[in-house]
Amino acid sequence: MAYECILTDTRGPVGLITLNRPDALNALNKQLMDELTDALMKYEADDAIGAMVITGSSKAFAAGADIKEMQPKSYMDVYMEDFITANWETASKVRKPVIAAVAGYALGGGCELAMMCDFILAGENAKFGQPEINLGVIPGAGGTQRLTRFVGKSKAMEMVLTARMMDAEEAERSGLVSRIVPVDDLVEEAVSTATKIAELSRPSVMIAKESVNKAYETMLRDGIMFERRVFHSLFATEDQNEGMAAFAEKRKPAFKNR
Ligand SMILES: CCCCCCCCCCCCC[C@H](O)CC(=O)SCCNC(=O)CCNC(=O)[C@H](O)C(C)(C)COP(=O)(O)OP(=O)(O)OC[C@H]1O[C@@H](n2cnc3c(N)ncnc32)[C@H](O)[C@@H]1OP(=O)(O)O
């Protein structure tokens, strides 16, 4: 698939995807979402890739779904097309870690896409928001659900009801982002972090991602039991034995991803 709305680049074991519609602040139109889904699934299937980074070109991560593309749509259009779900169902099958490197605007679907990633590194100039209320709609790709779980009801409710943005400092303070990085270093820091993850044992990385995500889907007792069982399961891997032997022998582990 030739890409027109994204750029892709392989940096060692990391797949780097750049949302690239700078004239529209990387607004997420159908073509971009189809291309992004295709690129994620290709990196997911590529054994040489252990982690991915999504970032945006120019002065935004993504300023939301493409309003001009959505404007003419009717209820039956979005319902029959299953707008958003079709893309998201595919993308949510990605089991390798995906880091969002956010500089500039991450609004609406842009914030929702960043929150779908496993964690967010924010440039100092990042601005997050769910301004859909200004358009007579509400967030439609998880914004009311993930934002509330990530930053708490009061802040999420205010942002969704008033379209207020939150800057990088507030986003870090609220737990929306993992940490703030100088904007000029953001992509390289994200690729470096993804490289560290990609060099670890892949079964443990993928199971760790699954286990952390389970925390949002289960009661504490069930989540702890899930974590216990998958912790036990890793003792069936050669990598567990290699990882612990390497520590004892004071050397770097040579993981075999099995
Ligand atoms: C993993 C693979 C699949 C994943 C699928 C899931 C991903 C989610 C995708 C779908 C989500 C749908 C549900 C979602 O909740 C709905 C929305 O996102 S609605 C949109 C929400 N966003 C906004 O309301 C922000 C709109 N933009 C602005 O408010 C301003 O542009 C700004 C960001 C404050 C910046 O202002 P300025 O600096 O003044 O810049 P301009 O306004 O002049 O913009 C420059 C240029 O860009 C165009 N543009 C900006 N935002 C959008 C947009 N969202 N859609 C379309 N075009 C946009 C703007 O029109 C200008 O263009 P020009 O007029 O110069 O041609």
Regarding the beta carbon of 35 and ligand 1, being less than 6 Å apart is answered no
Regarding the beta carbon of 42 and ligand 1, being less than 6 Å apart is answered no
Q: Where are the beta strands (DSSP E) in 63-155?
A: 98-102, 105-107, 119-123, 127-129
C-alpha of residue 102 to centroid of ligand 1, in Å: 15
Which atom of ligand 1 is the closest one to the Cα of 107?
Answer: 22
C-alpha of residue 65 to centroid of ligand 1, in Å: 6
Neighbours of 132 (CB within 10 A): 23
Q: What pLDDT, on a 0 to 100 scale, did the predictor assign at position 87?
A: 80
Asked if 199 is an active-site residue, the reply is no
Residue with the nearest Cα to atom 48 of ligand 1? 24
pLDDT in tens, 40-89: 999 999 999 999 999 999 899 999 999 999 999 999 999 999 898 878 87
Q: What pLDDT, on a 0 to 100 scale, did the predictor assign at position 86?
A: 77
Cβ(253)–Cβ(246) below 8 Å: yes
ipTM over 0.90: yes
Asked if 109 is an active-site residue, the reply is yes
Give me the phi and psi of 198, to 5 degrees please. -65, -20
Residues counted in the chain: 258
Cβ(8)–Cβ(53) below 8 Å: no
C-alpha of residue 250 to centroid of ligand 1, in Å: 51
Asked if 112 is an active-site residue, the reply is yes
Please indicate, yes or no, whether the overall pTM of this predicted structure exceeds 0.95: yes
CA distance 114 to 63: 11
Banded pLDDT at 91 (limits 50, 70, 90)? confident
Asked if 65 is an active-site residue, the reply is yes
User: Which member of 27, 65, 106, 190 is catalytic?
Assistant: 65
| Domain 4-196 belongs in CATH node 3.90.226.10 | yes
Regarding the beta carbon of 29 and ligand 1, being less than 6 Å apart is answered no
Domain ranges of the chain: 4-196, 200-247
Question: What is the CATH number assigned to the segment(s) 200-247?
Answer: 1.10.12.10
Q: What pLDDT, on a 0 to 100 scale, did the predictor assign at position 253?
A: 97
pLDDT in tens, 129-183: 999 999 999 999 999 999 999 999 999 999 999 999 999 999 999 999 999 999 9
Which atom of ligand 1 is the closest one to the Cα of 116?
Answer: 1
Cβ(27)–Cβ(70) below 8 Å: no
In the numeric block, which tokens belong to residue 84? 């958003």
